[in-house]
Structure 1
Amino acid sequence: MTSWTEVINYVRVRYEVLEESDEWLRFRLDTAGGRTQQVSVHHLPDTDGQAWVEISSPVGRADEVDLRRFLELAGAPELGGAAVVDGIALLKHVAPLEELSIREEFERPLTLLVSRADVMEHELTENDHF
């Protein structure tokens, strides 16, 4: 059984935390070519009697990217989903917290999602804002 505190501690030990609250963390990972990518992890409220963890990484400002192309690129099978939140195009992955394996169900999706978000940000914006 994994707790939200274990997820927080795992992130704090391994990554540069930029901002945090009781329910989320925002941190940065290094990616290819000297680029970096921000990622957020949220503790989602129990809606079905089970807590969830959401990993998300920004690709660009929604009004500055081709959203159709964004959705096409986000359709890759290794990704969880795509969304626009507060005007930011995001890649997202959600997993149940209680049975979460830190290595297989957190770290692996985290690194895949962050890597893909960075590639998409570079392709869609030609920048490294996030």
Structure 2
Amino acid sequence: MATWADLAEYVRRSYEVISDEPEELRILVGFGDEDEDDDPRTQVVIICREVLDRRHEWVQIASPCGLVATVDLKALLEEVGKSTVACGVAIMGDHVVVRHALPLANLDIEEFTEPLALLAGTADTLEEQFWGGDGY
């Protein structure tokens, strides 16, 4: 995998794409057993192309957890600090997001899929723990 086009095509084939723009894909990742009585949880994940120094292609993976205005950021950051291995937390607009970035050059697909799954799971867990719902 060496280009955004290659990665975008892989994502389109492998995930439930809910939005498809030239440099941004949004997918829906599901959690839980669909056969259970409870509604399975889902998480929106945004995958976008970034260019560093106008020449290095990167992919950023981000997932919103909830609104900044409705969370104790200190408690959230303390939880992330003690319970997560990968991914960072940032504020993007009005939202708290979990995000990760990878260089596209020489990217092996496992270097994308494993962080994506970890990020989606982390965002879903934080969303449930700190916002008490499944809004994203």
| Pairing of 1:95-110 with structure 2 (within 5 A) | 95-103=102-110, 105-110=111-116
Matched-pair identity in %:
34
CA-to-aligned-CA distance 1:76-95 (integer Å, 9 cap, x gap): 45222111101110001011
* Superposition TM-score, scaled by structure 1 size: 0.91
Q: How many residues align?
A: 129
**Pairing 1:40–2:41 present:** no
Aligned counterpart for 1:71 among listed residues 64, 67, 77: 77
Which runs of 4 or more aligned residues in structure 1 lie more than 6 Å from their structure 2 counterparts after TM superposition?
none
Which blocks of at least 5 consecutive residues in structure 2 are unaligned? 34-39
Q: Deviations over 1:14-37 (max 9, x none)?
A: 211111211111110001361000
SS at structure 1 position matched to 2:55: coil
Query: Residues 52 and 97 of structure 1 are in contact (CA less than 8 Å); yes or no, is this contact kept in structure 2?
Result: yes
1:87-98 counterparts in 2 under 5 A? 87-98=94-105
Alignment of 1:76-87 (within 5 A): 76-87=83-94
Question: 1:74–1:91: 8 Å Cα contact kept in structure 2?
Answer: no
Matched, 1:62 2:68: yes
Aligned-partner residue type, residue 45 of structure 2: V
Output the CA distance in 2 between the equivalents of 1:119 and 1:43: 26
Deviation digits for residues 66-113 of structure 1, max 9, x if unmatched? 21122122324522211110111000101111121112x100000001
Deviation at 1:48, TM superposition (A): 6.4
3-state DSSP of counterpart to 1:59 = strand
* Paired position in structure 2 for 1:111: 117
TM-score (norm 2): 0.87
RMSD: 1.5
Residues 79, 91 of structure 1: 8 Å contact kept: no
Displacement of 1:5 after TM fit?
1.1
